[in-house]
Amino acid sequence: MSTAIEQARELFKDEVVTNAISRDVELPYGAGTAVLITLDNGHDHTKPNTFGPGGLLSLDAAIEAAKARTDIVAVAVTGKPFIFAVGADLTGVPAIRTHEQAEAIGKLGHDTFRKLGELDVPTFALVNGAAMGGGVEVALHCTYRTISSGVPAFALPEAFLGLVPGWGGTYLLPNLIGAEKALKLIVDNPLAQNKMIKGPQVFEMGIADAIFDPADFVEESLRWAAKVLKGDVTVERPEVDKGEAWDNAVNMARFVVEGKLHGAAPAPARAVELVAEAKNRSRDEGFAAEDEALADLIMSPELKAGLYAFDLVQKRAKRPAGAPDKSLARKVTKVGVVGAGLMAGQLALLFARRLDVPVVMTDLDQERLDKGVAYVHGEVDKLLKKGRVNQDKANHLKALVTGSLTKDAFSDADFVIEAVFERMDIKKQVFAEVEAVVSPEAILATNTSSLSITEMASGLRHPERVVGFHFFNPVAVLPLLEIIRGDKTDDASLATAFAVSKKLKKTSVLCKDAPAFVVNRLLTLFMGEVLGAVAEGTEPEVADRAVAPLGLPMSPLMLLQLVGPAVGLHVAETLNEAFPERFAVSPQLKAVVDAGKTAIFAPDLSIDPEVKALLAGGDSPSEESAILDRALRALAKEIHLMLEEGVVAEAADIDLCLITGAGWPFHTGGITPYLDKVGVSTAVNGKPFHEGDPKAF
Amino acid sequence: MSRTARDVVFVDGVRTPFGKSGKGLYAETRADDLIVRVIRELMRRNPGLPPERVDEVAIAATTQIGDQGLTLGRTAAILAGLPRSVPGYSIDRMCAGALTAATTAGAGISFGAYDVVIAGGVEHMGRHPMGEGVDPNPRIISEKLVDPSALVMGNTAENLHDRYPTITKERADAYAVRSQEKVAKAYADGKIQPDLVETLVRSAEKGFGLATQDEPPRPGTTMESLAGLKTPFRAHGNVTPGNAAGLNDGATGTLLMAEEVAEELGLDAKMRLVDFSFTGVEPEVMGVGPVPATEKLLARQGIGMDDIGLIEINEAFAVQVLAFLEHFGIADDDARVNPWGGAIAIGHPLASSGGRLMMQLARQFAERPDVRYGITTMCVGLGMGGTILWENTNYEGGK
Q: Quick one: average pLDDT of A428-448?
A: 97
The pLDDT-based confidence of A476 (bands split at 50, 70, 90) is: confident
**Tens-place pLDDT, residues B353-390:** 999 999 999 999 999 999 999 999 999 999 999 999 99
A326-512: CATH number: 3.40.50.720
**Tens-place pLDDT, residues B185-235:** 999 999 999 999 999 999 999 999 999 999 999 999 999 999 999 999 999
User: Which of A18, A216, A222 to mutate to probe the B interface, most B CBs <10 Å?
Assistant: A216
**Tens-place pLDDT, residues B234-285:** 999 999 999 999 999 999 999 999 999 999 999 999 999 999 999 999 999 9
Check A36 against B198: CB less than 8 A apart.
no
| Residue B367, domain member (yes or no) | yes
Is the CB of residue A66 less than 8 Å from the CB of residue A22? yes
A22 CB neighbours in chain B (<8 A) are: 207
| CATH code for the domain in which residue B334 is found | 3.40.47.10
| Domains held by chain B: number | 1
Q: Quick one: average pLDDT of B160-171?
A: 97
Q: What is the pLDDT of residue A1?
A: 46
Helix (H) or strand (E) holding A124: strand A123-127
Q: What's the rounded Cα separation, in Å, for the pair B107 and B99?
A: 12
Q: A3-299 falls under which CATH superfamily?
A: 2-enoyl-CoA Hydratase; Chain A, domain 1 (3.90.226.10)
Q: How far is CA A8 from the centre of its chain?
A: 29
How far lies A324's CA from each of A510, B10, B25, in Å?
Answer: 10, 65, 49
Going across the sheet that includes A83-85, the strands are A83-85, A130-132, A154-155
| Residue B285, domain member (yes or no) | yes
Q: What is the pLDDT of residue B30?
A: 97
Q: What is the pLDDT of residue B345?
A: 98
**Tens-place pLDDT, residues A357-408:** 999 999 999 999 999 999 999 999 999 999 999 999 999 999 999 999 999 9
Closest residue in chain B to residue A41, using alpha carbons only: B204
How far lies B148's CA from each of B90, B138, B155, B212, in Å?
Answer: 28, 11, 9, 40
Q: What is the pLDDT of residue A450?
A: 85
Task: List the catalytic residues of B.
Answer: 95, 348, 379
**Tens-place pLDDT, residues A231-277:** 999 999 999 999 999 999 999 999 999 988 988 999 999 999 999 99
In chain A, where the domains are located: 3-299, 326-512, 519-646
Is the CB of residue A214 less than 8 Å from the CB of residue A167? no
Of A26, A37, A215, the CB nearest to B212: A26
Q: With 50 as the cut, is the pLDDT of residue B19 above it?
A: yes
A519-646: CATH number: 1.10.1040.50
User: Which of B203, B208, B215 to mutate to probe the A interface, most A CBs <10 Å?
Assistant: B208
The pLDDT-based confidence of B398 (bands split at 50, 70, 90) is: low
Q: Quick one: average pLDDT of A489-512?
A: 97
| Residue B3, domain member (yes or no) | no
Backbone dihedral angles phi then psi of residue B76, each to the nearest 5 degrees: -65, -40
**Tens-place pLDDT, residues A330-366:** 999 999 999 999 999 999 999 999 999 999 999 999 9
How far lies A192's CA from each of A8, A155, A185, A195, A304, in Å?
Answer: 32, 12, 10, 6, 20
B205 CB neighbours in chain A (<8 A) are: 21
Q: What's the rounded Cα separation, in Å, for the pair A494 and A492?
A: 5
Q: What's the rounded Cα separation, in Å, for the pair A229 and B66?
A: 39
Check B208 against A215: CB less than 8 A apart.
no
| Residue B259, domain member (yes or no) | no
Chain A positions contacting chain B at CB under 8 Å are: 21-26, 28, 36-38, 40, 42, 78, 81, 213, 215-216, 218-219, 222-223
Q: With 50 as the cut, is the pLDDT of residue A423 above it?
A: yes
Q: With 80 as the cut, is the pLDDT of residue B1 above it?
A: no
Q: Does B37 touch chain A (CB under 8 A)?
A: yes
Half-sphere exposure of residue A291: CA atoms within 13 angstroms, side-chain side: 18
pTM, to two decimals: 0.94
- Amino acid (one-letter) located at B167: I
Q: What's the rounded Cα separation, in Å, for the pair B83 and B367?
A: 35
Backbone dihedral angles phi then psi of residue A610, each to the nearest 5 degrees: -65, -40
* Average pLDDT score over chain B: 97
* Average pLDDT score over chain A: 95
Give the domain range for residue B151.
146-192+274-389
Check B207 against A21: CB less than 8 A apart.
yes
| Residue B385, domain member (yes or no) | yes
Q: Quick one: average pLDDT of A432-458?
A: 96
The pLDDT-based confidence of A580 (bands split at 50, 70, 90) is: very high
Q: What is the pLDDT of residue A2?
A: 56
Share of chain A above pLDDT 90, in %: 90
**Tens-place pLDDT, residues A20-73:** 999 999 999 999 999 999 999 999 999 999 999 999 999 999 999 999 999 999
Going across the sheet that includes A480-485, the strands are A401-404, A359-362, A335-338, A415-418, A443-446, A466-471, A480-485, A507-512
Report the 10 Å Cβ neighbour count for A660: 24
Q: With 80 as the cut, is the pLDDT of residue B126 above it?
A: yes
| Residue B60, domain member (yes or no) | no
Q: Does B38 touch chain A (CB under 8 A)?
A: no
Q: Does B210 touch chain A (CB under 8 A)?
A: yes
**Tens-place pLDDT, residues B97-114:** 999 999 999 999 999 999
